[in-house]
Amino acid sequence: MKKGIHPENYRLVAFKDMSNDEVFITKSTADTKETITHEGVEYPVVKMEISRTSHPFYTGKSKLIDTAGRIDKFKNKYSKFAKETKTTEE
């Protein structure tokens, strides 16, 4: 390996999934100012909106997280472009 190109500040960091409060610990160089106590040990914490414990691909469950009503805003904005269905009488 080349010298001087790899980070030196690897440390244990807690990653917290904010949708289900799941916490997992791994080594990282991510910068953070917040800390969390997990199982009696204090770690720097990185907050995430979605992780392997809440992502539909890994859980097999479809979970809708709508922050700030984005889906409703989208539907209202583009509802005028919806195609009308025609009924055919035979």
Tens-place pLDDT, residues 52-79: 777 665 566 665 565 667 777 778 888 8
**CA 3/CA 40 separation, integer angstroms:** 36
Structure pTM?
A: 0.57
Question: 10 Å Cβ neighbour count for 31?
Answer: 9
The DSSP symbol for 79 reads G
**CA 47/CA 32 separation, integer angstroms:** 9
How far is residue 70 from each of residues 46, 62, 67, 76, measured CA to CA in Å?
A: 25, 17, 6, 10
Tens-place pLDDT, residues 12-29: 999 998 878 889 898 999
Q: Which two tokens stand for residue 89?
A: 């009488």
